[in-house]
Amino acid sequence: MIIALNNKCNFTKIEYLNYQDELSKLNTHHQLILCPSATYLAISNPSNYSLGSQNVSNYENGSHTGEISAQQLKSLGVTYCLVGHSERRHKETNEEITEKLKHLIDNDIIPILCIGEKKQDESLDKRQEGVKTKINELTSNLTEIEKEKIIIAYEPIWSIGTGIIPTNQEITELVTVIKQILPKNKVLYGGSVNEDNITILKQINNIDGFLLGGLSLQPKKLAEFLRKI
Ligand code: PGA
């Protein structure tokens, strides 16, 4: 399974180096993708994980103060990149997301495109329709071959950091819709996954892995999660 670790805006430099040390002791056959804060990409030493970024510029390069381009990420050994995470999405237009996907693919970086509905209380049909529309909107400029390169992270926004998770049945049905549009793509689930609820979540049989936020910061709990999965 693919296990993507989104550290978000956490750790000082010393804390990160210690964390990385702990992480390197994890012994797992699952594929780990570590997405640290961008400031630590250059000091990361991927031994048992692949390096991912939490974001990329929608510009190719040039006079764009503070931006980090796909080409620059590539030069640091980054091979994956989160795109459109809900914690950034309110600042980003569909057009910018599309540009980011394109630049990443052009630089051989696999985008992990985050998609998920805002509200839990909508009908399953409506949630499925919303996810479908979003994927179609964001990938319509890509060729079929480019589309196949994307990993989708299904992350219901109401579940991120809240401790509330959808039922296995709900996740299965949402992932089914995603795989109808993108049959060759890997799909992860993200939102409040932890070392306890993994025993239930691992029974879902149409997902290819998980995207972890809070749990990614705690190597001991992460080790327990990896043992159970
Ligand atoms: P969480 O975050 O695991 O803390 O809910 C997931 C995410 O934001 O990707």
Q: Percent of the chain, pLDDT > 90?
A: 94
In short, whether 160's Cβ falls inside 6 Å of ligand 1 is yes
The four Cα atoms 210, 118, 85, 129 give a dihedral, to 10 degrees, of 80
Helix (H, G, I), strand (E, B) or coil at 209: strand
Give this prediction's pTM.
Answer: 0.97
Q: In the prediction, which pLDDT does 84 show?
A: 95
Q: ∠ CA(216), CA(186), CA(4), 5° rounding?
A: 10
Atom nearest to 212 CA in ligand 1: 3
Cα(19)–Cα(1) distance, rounded to whole angstroms? 22
Helix (H, G, I), strand (E, B) or coil at 208: coil
Amino acid at 4: A
Q: In the prediction, which pLDDT does 57 show?
A: 98
Residues in the chain: 229
Q: pLDDT averaged over the chain?
A: 96
List Cβ neighbours of 101 (8 Å cut-off, separation of 6 or more). 83, 111, 113, 138, 139, 142, 146, 150
Cα(180)–Cα(189) distance, rounded to whole angstroms? 16
pLDDT digits (tens, 9 = 90+) for 6-28: 999 999 999 999 999 999 999 99
pLDDT for residue 90 is more than 90: no
Active-site residue, from 99, 103, 117, 155: 155
Q: Is the CB of residue 55 less than 8 Å from the CB of residue 88? A: yes
Q: In the prediction, which pLDDT does 60 show?
A: 96
Q: What is the mean pLDDT of residues 183-196?
A: 97
pLDDT confidence tier of residue 120, bands split at 50, 70 and 90: confident
Measuring from atom 1 of ligand 1, which residue has the nearest CA? 213
State in Å, rounded, how far the first CA of the chain is from the last one: 9
Position of tokens 């109401």?
Answer: 158
Q: In the prediction, which pLDDT does 16 show?
A: 98
Q: In the prediction, which pLDDT does 223 show?
A: 97
In short, whether 214's Cβ falls inside 6 Å of ligand 1 is yes
pLDDT for residue 138 is more than 90: yes
pLDDT for residue 112 is more than 90: yes
pLDDT confidence tier of residue 122, bands split at 50, 70 and 90: confident
pLDDT digits (tens, 9 = 90+) for 15-72: 999 999 999 999 999 999 999 999 999 999 998 999 999 999 999 999 999 999 999 9
Task: Using alpha carbons, list the distances in angstroms from residue 52 to 41, 99, 173.
Answer: 8, 18, 28
Q: Is the CB of residue 41 less than 8 Å from the CB of residue 73? A: yes
Nearest to 30 by CA among 148, 185, 198: 198
**Pocket residue to mutate for ligand 1, from 157, 198, 211, 216, most atoms within 8 A of Cβ:** 211
Strand segments, DSSP code E, in the chain are 2-6, 31-35, 49-53, 78-83, 110-115, 151-154, 187-190, 209-212
